[in-house]
Amino acid sequence: MPYYKNHVFVCTNQRTDGRASCQDCGAQELRDHMKKRSKELGLLGKGEVRINSAGCLNRCDEGPVMVVYPQGTWYTFMDKEDIDEIVDEHLIKGNEVERLKLEND
């Protein structure tokens, strides 16, 4: 049994050297929305879901990005609607959101 069924890490890194970074797209606000919505839906807790902020995940060119473990599913997202779809489909129903998924190769 994993400690969290879905452990989400949202990159909220802000670079200051001019290169692209996830926080350019408001990743912190979108992560906060994801956590708030997951909490409202009663998804959070041990054995269930955890929504974390993380440092740079090094997929900046594809950002903003998040990864859901232990599945190892990577997503990009642009707005709250994308976040809500990941919550509703992946976290609640266990279905990957193909249109937002990043390839690993």
Closest approach, Cβ 29 to its own copies, in A, equals 15
Q: How far is CA 47 from CA 5, 50, 51, 64, 84, in A?
A: 6, 9, 13, 27, 21
Closest approach, Cβ 18 to its own copies, in A, equals 22
∠75-77-78 over CA atoms, to 5°? Answer: 165
Q: Which is nearer to its own copies, 88 or 101 (CB)?
A: 101
Closest approach, Cβ 81 to its own copies, in A, equals 24
Overall size of the chain counted in residues: 105
Adjacent-strand bridge partners of 7? 50, 69
Q: Which is nearer to its own copies, 88 or 100 (CB)?
A: 100
Interaction site with its own copies (CB under 8 A): 1-3, 7, 9, 46, 50, 52-59, 67, 69-72, 74, 104-105
Rounded CA-CA distance 1/101 in Å is 25
Which tokens go with 37? 């919505």
Q: Which is nearer to its own copies, 14 or 52 (CB)?
A: 52
Q: Which is nearer to its own copies, 37 or 88 (CB)?
A: 37
